[in-house]
Structures are given as structure tokens and as C-alpha cells.
Amino acid sequence: MFTRKLQSREKIPPGLTLLEDVSQLSPLVQRIIGQNPGAFTLQGTNTYLVGNGTNKILIDTGEPNSRQYLDKLIDSLSKSSSNIVAIVVTHWHADHSGGIGQILQHFKKDIPIYKLRRTDGQPEQSEMNFTFVEDGHELSVEGVTLRGDCILGEGSAIFENLDDYMKSLRKLLDLAPKRIYPGKD
């Protein structure tokens, strides 16, 4: 599995918009950048805390062993007196799922983790207790649909099958979302 070491904010590819590390995108959605800028992660992987009140759903977990990201997540939860009640992993790439272990270890509690089964022939991480969801499952909050990396906020997408990519984009259009929060900006 390809994993890159944590990079500094100075490694953001040229020409991309500089994003705040933590941004309140709507009353129910807060973005926390994964602190891992690079050619494939752009400004850094987007993770999201979704919900109001004290219970939040974490969408994606950043890369493994990223103390900078974990500190930003802890600070965000502390400021809102919130806790994570569920984790949703959009896909298996290390920049989206690699931080699961450090988050579970830090919070020292059993947080349910939801994800699709891998279809690439690779085994699931056996040490994780996933609840598997079916293809097409969506998380919609306030007219916002959260999905995996089918689109980027800016830059060019890399995909293996143009037909599959176009079908995915058509599905998004059919949902008629008011807002789209991408896996990367």
C-alpha cells in the first residue's frame, strides 16, 4: 500500500486555493483538512464532521499516524463539546481510511465504522470491525450528499474507467444535491 509521510503546508501543489485547516461549511458540516498536501491529495484530504449537538459522524479519517490531523480533530470536537458516534469511510485509500486506528486508540471507545466492501481483490483490514454498506448507500444531511472521491473540488480527476466515472457523475446529477463536499478540493 502506498503511504506518504506527512508533508508541510508548503507542499500544496502550485495553483490550488489555500484552504483553512478547519472550516465550518454549513451549520451541520465542518471540514478538517488531513494535513497531507501533495500531487494526489491536492491541499490535503478532506474529512468531515457532520451533525449538530454533541454527536458527530466523522467522514474519512485521514492518513495513518498523522498527529497534526488528530490534534485538529480533537480540537474541533473539544470546541463544540462533541464526540464521534460513527465513522464513515468513503473508500480504502490510505489518505481516507488510514487514520482509523489512531482515532480509535485516542478515543478509547468502540466507534462503529461503515464502509463499502473492497472490490479490488485486496483483503479487508482484519483488525477492524467494519459494518459494510451496499453500493448506492448515501449519507444525506440538510440536502447535502456525502460520497467518496467521484469528483474533486478543483484539479483533474484520475480514474481507471471513463464509463464508470461518467456513470458516477450522472448518479450525482440525478440526486440534485444543493451542495457537494468532495473528498479533495
Instruction: Write the pLDDT tens digit of every residue in 87-124.
Output: 988 877 888 889 999 999 999 888 999 887 766 666 66
More confident residue, 86 or 185: 86
Distance, in Å, from the CA atom of 33 to the CA atom of 164, rounded to the nearest integer, reads 27
CATH number of 9-180: 3.60.15.10
Distance, in Å, from the CA atom of 94 to the CA atom of 132, rounded to the nearest integer, reads 18
For 3-15, the pLDDT digits (tens) are 334 444 457 778 8
Residues in the chain: 185
Dump the DSSP string for 18-38. P--SEEEEETTEEEEE-S--B
**CB 34 within 8 Å of CB 63:** yes
The torsion angles phi and psi of 89, rounded to 5 degrees, stand at -100, 120
pTM for this one?
A: 0.75
